Amino acid sequence: SQQGEEDPQALSIQEGENATMNCSYKTSINNLQWYRQNSGRGLVHLILIRSNEREKHSGRLRVTLDTSKKSSSLLITASRAADTASYFCATALLFGGTSYGKLTFGQGTILTVHP
Amino acid sequence: SQTIHQWPATLVQPVGSPLSLECTVEGTSNPNLYWYRQAAGRGLQLLFYSVGIGQISSEVPQNLSASRPQDRQFILSSKKLLLSDSGFYLCAWSQGRNSPLHFGNGTRLTVT
């Protein structure tokens, strides 16, 4: 089963509004990452937050991590039509071993920003 | 700077035919390499990953295999394709443990 689950599955907003996507996971993690995917393309890494961090910013992106609730959120402020894409969270397990460096992805949130 | 190349971009193959998808990385050495499959534009399923030449770990038993003949080359193969092998295949690399993944542009495979 998937480690990360995003919520909502789809989000439709107007340009200028904020978009919030949530991710829940099941097991202890080393870090959690957010990726963006434009239709028919590869994924692009947005931000990485480590398990000992609670919040991280990058431009219009704000990511929070609550390890006690095993959840994370991605906030995109002042959204633009160009932000339209699918957004995925991915978790890196706490310990390596046979899971060395691999990420487990959620099902994604499809964000549509209307101009 | 590092780049990843994945080809072909699209592929239509009949059931029972062989498959070979290639991925190469430039600008880095000893990367971790990954093959993911994405169905219907949603979640990614890890198929194979490699931490070095000749070292392949399979995540899901299936009709596919992977090889890493050179440090920065990763190949996904099948001897006989099934209809269920259709999907969007993504190659990715990372440098070191718990580092971000860098994806290629993917191959859209349709098995008919």
Neighbours of B83 (CB within 10 A): 9
Residue-level pLDDT, tens digit, chain B, 112 residues? 889 999 999 999 999 999 999 999 999 999 999 999 998 767 899 999 998 998 998 888 678 999 999 999 999 999 999 999 999 999 999 987 778 999 999 999 999 9
Q: Work out the angle at residue B88's Cα, subtended by the Cα atoms of residues B86 and B93, and round it to the nearest 5 degrees.
A: 135
- Among A30, A41, A101, the residue with its CB nearest the CB of B94 is A101
**pLDDT at residue A5 is higher than 60:** yes
Average pLDDT of chain A, as a whole number: 90
Contact A42 B100 (CB under 8 A): no
**pLDDT at residue A6 is higher than 90:** no
pLDDT of residue B59: 83
pLDDT of residue A1: 43
**pLDDT at residue A87 is higher than 90:** yes
**pLDDT at residue A22 is higher than 60:** yes
Query: Measured between CB atoms, does A58 come within 8 Å of chain B?
Result: no
CA A29/CA A51 separation, integer angstroms: 7
Residue A65 burial (10 A CB sphere; 0-12, 13-18, 19+): buried
Contact B43 A98 (CB under 8 A): no
With beta carbons less than 8 A apart as the criterion, state whether A53 and A64 touch: no
CA distance, residue A94 to nearest chain B CA (Å): 9
pLDDT of residue B97: 72
Query: Measured between CB atoms, does B49 come within 8 Å of chain A?
Result: yes
Which DSSP string do the residues of A64-112 spell out, in sequence order?
EEETTTTEEEEEE-S--GGG-EEEEEEEEESS-GGGTT-EEE---EEEE
Query: Measured between CB atoms, does A42 come within 8 Å of chain B?
Result: yes
pLDDT tens across A29-69, in order?
888 999 999 998 999 999 999 999 999 999 999 999 999 99
| Mean pLDDT of the region A78-99 | 83
